[in-house]
Amino acid sequence: MFFIIGKNIQGNESILNQIVAEGHQIGNHSYSHHNFIDLWSTKKVTEDFATCQKLIEHYQPKSKLFRPPYGVTNPNIAKALKQLNLQSIGWNVRSYDTSIKDVEKIKQRVLSQLKPGAIILLHDRLDFMPELLEVLIPAIKEKEYSFAEKVN
C-alpha cells in the first residue's frame, strides 16, 4: 500500500504506473502534506484532499483510502473525509525511520512491535529505504508473517 502525496506525482508518473501495474493499492495522503494542514478549515482541507483524489483516481479509479499527514485527524479533516467518501487508515507500528538512521535499529524496532494485522509506517523518500526493505521483508517473513495485498 502506497499513500501518495499529490504534489509529488508530476515527474514521477512512471513510478506510480509501476506501483499500480505490480498490483499495489494506492491511497490519498493529501495534495500538499502541508505542515499546518491540521489547522486548516474544512473547506481548505477538502479541496486539498479532493485535488489529490482526482489525480490518484486517474491511476486507480476505485481508491478510497486516505492516510492523514502526520497521522493527525481532527473534526475538519473528519468532515472532509466524509464529504469525499474516503476511509482513514492509520498505523500501529511506527518505525521512526525519519529520525533513526540505523537500518538494523529500525529493523529491530519494527520486529519487536509486530503482531497480526500490523500496519507499519515507512517513508519511501529516505535514501536508505531500499537497504532497509532488503533486510526487513525477509525478517518479517521469517517470523511467519505475510503482507496483505489489499486493504478493505
Ordered alpha helix ranges (H), the chain:
13-21, 42-59, 75-84, 103-113, 129-142
- pLDDT at position 70 is 87
pLDDT tens digits, one per residue of 31-87: 999 999 999 999 999 999 999 999 999 999 999 999 999 888 999 999 999 999 999
- Sorted by where each begins, the domain ranges of the chain are 2-88, 93-142
Tell me the three state secondary structure of residue 140. Answer: helix
- Give the angle 33-149-84 at the CA atoms, nearest 5°: 40
d(CA 123, CA 130): 11
* The listed CATH number (1.20.1050.10, 3.20.20.80, 3.20.20.370, 3.40.190.10) that belongs to domain 2-88: 3.20.20.370
**Model pTM above 0.95:** no
Residue 150 pLDDT more than 80? no
pLDDT tens digits, one per residue of 80-110: 999 999 999 989 999 999 999 999 999 999 9
- pLDDT at position 152 is 62
